[in-house]
Structure 1
Amino acid sequence: MSSSSSSSNAAESIAVAARQAFEASQLVEVGQRDVALGAIRKVLESKREEVLAANKKDMEAAEALAAEGKLSKTLVSRLDLSRPGKYDSMLQGITDVAALPAPTGLVTFAKELGPGLDLYRVTCPVGVLLVIFEARPEVVVNIAALAIKSGNAAILKGGKESIHTATLLSSLIGEALSTTSIPSTFIQSVSTRSEISSLLAQDKYIDLVMPRGGNELVRSIQNNTRIPVMGHADGICAVYVDESAKEEKAVRVVVESKIDYMAACNSAETLLIHSSLLDTLWPRIASALFSHNVCLRCDPSTLSAIKDHPDTSRLATASSETDYHTEFLGPTLAVKTVGSVSEAIKHINSHSSHHTDSIITEDESAMSAWCRGLDSANCFVNASTRFADGTRYGLGTEVGISTGKTHARGPVGLDGLVIYKYMMRSKTEGGSLIADHEKGEGKYTHKDLPREQPPF
């Protein structure tokens, strides 16, 4: 048997196991999902040192590759589970998800179609998820928690940089599930690229692919599967400082949006400055960014306005058009002058990745125009772009951020992992036929019903 055939067979076995686990889990009482989450947290707490030891192996290998220029420092930063509070935050995410209301079984539409015939639209899991991500090993736990709570089975593939950590975390999750009524194969992981290629062909068993990574990864997946794909390719986020912006507010929001965690997809990569601020507020913002060693790629107007600053020769250069389409993921920021909020919106709609963009303004009409006109998943007013995050939104955690126009946009938490089904019940003695409502004196009543739990 060829290696490709072997890989395809293995992928099909994984996909079939996930589908079977999903189908079996749908008849398990919903409260058992929280029991499973508690079991996972308990195991991960007890195995902390073992997980950190595996993470250390990944870090050592990644740092060696970074030293050779074969891996970006950004990726290495995302890999480290030993950073202060990161492991505890991962565990807390499990608890936070468990505390959220179950997103399934909710009635979103209820109508009496005719006498004795009721129709309900009820939220339900999507099914089997294939989640592909780079570097960050805690994503294994984040996604497992969200998948279990929402009733979705998941197959996970982390980057090769986190293979020791991700493999161990997945194994421990399976160990925990084996003590519960949720099948142990409800969460599975794969480790090779060939397995992913084969899994992308399993549209009979897998319902949704969710990639978390760079543009190249996402585009490759979108071009190589018939399975629906939900995610985002880039995080080209912008902050626009409007003419009515207050100095302290503008400086605080711009600086944090850029420097808080520059490797994040919600870090600002473009700064738009209203032309009336070139000689007043803009130099103060530039100075604040210089103090954090942020390199500025400026258009002629913004560069000229800071030509006398002592750090300009060291940290500021002329921009190119490419800079406004670039996700730098580091201490570089593209800067441009605009003449109005409408011009800022037009620039972002044509240059950004529709992820997260923020306006700094005191003008209510500008705020309204921004939120209505901007075609982005997250539209902020006077707030750091770094707020675009499932945990910060109170979603418990997130499986990723979607910039598409499917049923979920922005940080995808539990609500983004459910779809719905229509449930109909006839309460008439002889059952219901369309003839009962469309022939003779039969008719449809189409009366709204209370949106309570369906009587099944």
Structure 2
Amino acid sequence: MNNQTSVPSPTSDLLKRAFEVKNASIALSRCSNEQRKKALNSMADALSARAQEIVDANIDDLRRSEHAGLAPALLARLKLNHDKLKESIEGVRQVALLPDPVGLRQLHRELDSGLILQRITVPLGVLGVIFESRPDAVMQIVSLAIRSGNGVILKGGSEAQLTNKVIVNALKEGLVNTDVCSESICLLTTREESLSLLRLDHLVDLIIPRGSNELVKFIQENTRIPVLGHADGICHLYVDSEADIDQALKIAIDSKCQYPAACNAIETLLLHKDIAPSFLKNGIPAFEKLGVLLLGDTHSLELGVKHKAEDNDWSTEYLELKLSIKVVSSLDEALSHIRCYSSKHTDAIATRNKETATKFLLSVDSSGVYHNCSTRFADGFRYGFGAEVGISTQILPPRGPVGLEGLITYRYFLEGEGHIAADYSDAKKSFSHRDL
């Protein structure tokens, strides 16, 4: 997508399906906690029953996408083998076990005798989710949507079209004979439909894009629907002069290599000048052994890094086994670099100095700021959210991995006994504002 692409008006068929999701979401919002939990477990059963069909469809998608020249990072995200599928299905069951986010009373206040105010959590309504490559995201998104009482309209990338179709069919089949209508879930299949989705501001309450920088920016600039997401995942690890070198190297390798195609993998390693020589003595061979291409600044090149980093490398999300390295003279220089280039996703420090760590944690304005641990922990499942619909790097909440709590809002409910505002305007009565 590019900013010159026109956003077409929705077709009558798309409007019909979107209205069906909207109506189903209203019914879903009235379902009990037990009804929604039962629906998720039934969906998990249906996924298990069709596991081989899902894996076979994914093999076909992989073969077709590889032949079409899909980038290695996207191919890695596209792959869904039996182990990954089993983990995803277990994730659906874990979401069912999470506390119910709907119907929680956040405020209970007597404004005056017989005039009672409550603030109660409610579902958002309909989620529109546009994503690339990852078919496992379908299971995460749908389980979180249904658990939180929301309908969902999905549009995956064409590279995962076969896999997504089988998964969604299984999920919808799982809802048969439950109290949750299968029309709560809708899968779009064409590019025109995904563009038209951006115009459904009267039916869709939140757009969640999961994909490239270009995709997210296009969506943000071409819809009036609120957008939750992040455009880049440019994450940093700063190794301080007082870091434990062995521990820091272990963290750096995991942050880069455990799954390099993830948005929470580091793209830049910042090294304090006092520790850089000893760190790189062990670090260069360790990274090269794992197939990582290292790109360094002038100081890093002098210490053995073989390839020069260009100016645009500091602002590039590689999503592959490639890592930029820069030597800095101080914590403040590291903070300055992060402020300039970080996408506000996840940034980390390795140090044994608590005071230094505290300054870093309080100075870096990212959705996740870590001390002595891998950036790969920035994940809804690892946070105990069961799954995530995406990661938000915006300042306003929800921020970071978005689970159930990010998919609810609240309403104010006020009950009276014939109370009218004029009585209080004329000072006939006064408010008690007593919390109950």
* Same fold? TM cut 0.5: yes
Counterpart Cα distance in 1 of 2:38 and 2:108:
31
Match 2:162 to one of 153, 161, 164: 164
CA offset digits 1:382-434 (Å, max 9, x no partner): 000100111111000111111112321111110111111111122x4xx2222
* Aligned-pair CA distance for 1:441: 4.5
Instruction: For residue 33 of structure 2, give the secondary structure of its aligned residue in structure 1.
Output: coil
Counterpart Cα distance in 1 of 2:352 and 2:421:
58
Give the letter aligned to residue 75 of structure 1.
L
Contact 2:366 2:393 in 1 (8 A): yes
Q: 1:319 to 1:151 in 2, by over 3 A?
A: same
Instruction: For residue 108 of structure 2, give the secondary structure of its aligned residue in structure 1.
Output: strand
Counterpart Cα distance in 2 of 1:92 and 1:170:
16
Structure 2 partner of 1:231 = 229
Counterpart Cα distance in 1 of 2:45 and 2:160:
22
1:437 aligns with 2:436: no
Structure 1 partner of 2:3 = none
Contact 2:8 2:195 in 1 (8 A): no
Give the letter aligned to residue 99 of structure 1.
L
Alignment of 1:77-88 (within 5 A): 77-82=76-81, 85-88=83-86
Alignment of 1:53-452 (within 5 A): 53-65=56-68, 70-82=69-81, 85-306=83-304, 312=305, 316-426=306-416, 428=417, 431-449=418-436
* Aligned-pair CA distance for 1:8: 2.0
Query: Identity of paired residues, percent?
Result: 40
Q: 1:116 to 1:6 in 2, by over 3 A?
A: closer
Counterpart Cα distance in 2 of 1:112 and 1:186:
37
Give the letter aligned to residue 249 of structure 2.
V
Counterpart Cα distance in 1 of 2:123 and 2:133:
27
CA offset digits 1:326-345 (Å, max 9, x no partner): 00111111111222222212
Counterpart Cα distance in 2 of 1:342 and 1:394:
33
**Length-normalised TM-score, structure 1:** 0.91
Contact 2:9 2:199 in 1 (8 A): no
Instruction: For residue 266 of structure 1, give the secondary structure of its aligned residue in structure 2.
Output: coil
Alignment of 1:35-50 (within 5 A): 35-50=38-53
Counterpart Cα distance in 1 of 2:303 and 2:192:
53
Instruction: For residue 279 of structure 1, give the secondary structure of its aligned residue in structure 2.
Output: helix
The CA RMSD over aligned residues, in Å, is: 1.6
Counterpart Cα distance in 2 of 1:378 and 1:445:
41
Give the letter aligned to residue 334 of structure 1.
S
Counterpart Cα distance in 2 of 1:100 and 1:354:
28
Q: 1:32 to 1:263 in 2, by over 3 A?
A: same
Contact 1:114 1:437 in 2 (8 A): no
Counterpart Cα distance in 2 of 1:131 and 1:40:
19
Instruction: For residue 395 of structure 2, give the secondary structure of its aligned residue in structure 1.
Output: coil
Instruction: For residue 286 of structure 1, give the secondary structure of its aligned residue in structure 2.
Output: helix
Counterpart Cα distance in 1 of 2:224 and 2:169:
29
Instruction: For residue 406 of structure 1, give the secondary structure of its aligned residue in structure 2.
Output: coil
Contact 2:236 2:270 in 1 (8 A): yes
Moved more, 247-256 or 282-291: 282-291
CA offset digits 1:323-364 (Å, max 9, x no partner): 100001111111112222222122112101111111001111
- Please, which runs of 5 or more residues in structure 2 have no aligned partner? 1-6
Contact 2:8 2:192 in 1 (8 A): no
Contact 2:199 2:223 in 1 (8 A): yes
- Which consecutive aligned stretches of 4+ in structure 1 deviate over 6 angstroms post-superposition? none
Contact 1:264 1:329 in 2 (8 A): yes
